[in-house]
Amino acid sequence: MRKLIFAAMLLAACSPSKENAIGTIERLDPALDALVDADAPIEILAEGYEWSEGPVWVEKENMLLFSDVPKNIVYKWTESKGAEPYLAPSGFTGTTTASNEPGANGLLLFNDSLVLCQHGDRRMARMNASLSNPKAEFTTIAATYNDKRFSSPNDAAYNTKGELFFTDPPYGLPQNDEDPAKEQPYNGVYKVSTTGTVYLLVDSLTRPNGIIVMPDQKKIIVANSDPQKATWYEFELTDDDSVTNARIFYDATSSLATDRGLPDGLKADSNGNIFATGPGGIWIFNSTGKLLGKIRLTQLAANCALSPDEKTLYITADMYLVRVKLRN
């Protein structure tokens, strides 16, 4: 399930806060009370995007960055000015493309640099400019495995060693798995070492999407955006650039009978609690996979980001940028 391009929309830089107009908090376990209030406001911060994605908070600049993937633009949001264009092009730097999703998807920071999952350019890349003075100039971090191009890197995470983990589903290709331009025989999960070597970690998932490294640095969790297997998977990291002990972290496939959406982007707080986009909104788990509650949204949720103090959750949901205050 991916967002199809809408007819042209006006991009609203910022809209007045519309608390809880877009969702509600659902408490499934008393442990949720330590994370978010049952009546916490769900605020719309900005709207009018074709498909908002990849939010990341930049503490140094006091701003949130997020992507509009179909529009090939990264936006920034600040409390004082709302949302405004930040970087274009963001994911496709060529001249013509048939892709409906050419822009950057997941965004992350590493050593004060912006790192982008570039759908259109089919690579992981770093912006060659300061965060305060962005420019559409990029250095490739990884673009191939076994001399074959990636399909469209989607989401990514770093561990504390500086190793990069990312997923490579086919969503950025015009015809997905059937696209003649698809070179990789699978939709993989990869690791890039600090020296730039690319390792294939997982080749068995149908639609790997969101990915996180858990706070203990020993495990990764990967969201699978497949209506037949709407599942989050956990893998233990080894010392030899591979994974082991794969298990189902949580299977949400049955929820598709009543709720729209699929597992997509996710983030973990310092205690291992996980905020994961999925059917019906944001699913909140503890570190063992126990479901504590949900932030139910009226729109399809794509991804989320935590502020450094873990007191705010930012959510990209279809055409909206949303904020929920947490209790951490």
Per-residue confidence at 21, pLDDT binned at 50, 70, 90? confident
- Is position 9 within any domain? no
Give per-residue burial for 192-212: e unless 16+ CB within 10 Å, then b. Answer: beeeeebbbbbeebebbbbbb
Tell me the per-residue pLDDT of 267-317, one tens digit each, with 9 for 90 and over. Answer: 999 999 999 999 999 999 999 999 999 999 999 999 999 999 999 999 999
116-137 per-position pLDDT tens digit: 999 999 999 999 999 999 999 9
Q: How many Cα atoms sit within 13 Å of 37 on the Cβ side? A: 10
Residue 103 lies inside a defined structural domain of this protein: yes
Give the pLDDT confidence score for residue 20 in this predicted structure: 65
Q: What's the one-letter identity of residue 265?
A: G
How far is residue 292's CA from residue 294's CA, in Å, rounded to a whole number? 7
| Strand-pair category, 274-278 with 156-158 | unpaired
Of 293, 292, 266, 290, whose CA–CA distance to 277 is shortest?
Answer: 266
pLDDT of amino acid 2:
46
Query: 């949901």: which residue's tokens?
Result: 317
Residues 254, 257, 262, 267: is their CA dihedral positive or negative? Answer: negative
Q: Regarding predicted confidence, which is higher, 6 or 293?
A: 293
CA dihedral of residues 138, 320, 53, 101 (deg, nearest 10): -80
The per-residue pLDDT for 17 is 47
Domain count, the chain: 1
**Is 328 within a domain?**
no
Our measurement of the distance from residue 150's CA atom to the centroid of its chain's CA atoms, rounded to an integer in Å, reads 18
**CA dist., res. 270 & res. 256, Å (int):** 30
What domain range is 107 assigned to?
50-274
Q: What is the pLDDT of residues 134-176, one digit of tens each?
A: 999 999 999 999 999 999 999 999 999 999 999 999 999 999 9
Asked if the structure places residue 151 within a domain, the reply is: yes
130 belongs to a structural domain: yes
Is the residue at 257 inside a domain?
yes
- The answer to the question of residue 143 being in a domain is yes
Q: 33: helix, coil or strand? A: helix
Task: Write the CATH number for 249.
Answer: 2.120.10.30
State yes or no: pLDDT of 80 exceeds 50: yes
Q: Is residue 3 part of a domain?
A: no
Is residue 76 a contact partner of residue 29, using CB atoms and an 8 Å limit? no
Question: Within 10 A of 9 (CB to CB), how many other CB atoms are there?
Answer: 13
How does pLDDT run across 35-70, given as a tens digit for each residue?
A: 999 999 999 999 999 999 999 999 999 999 999 999
Q: pTM (2 decimals)?
A: 0.93
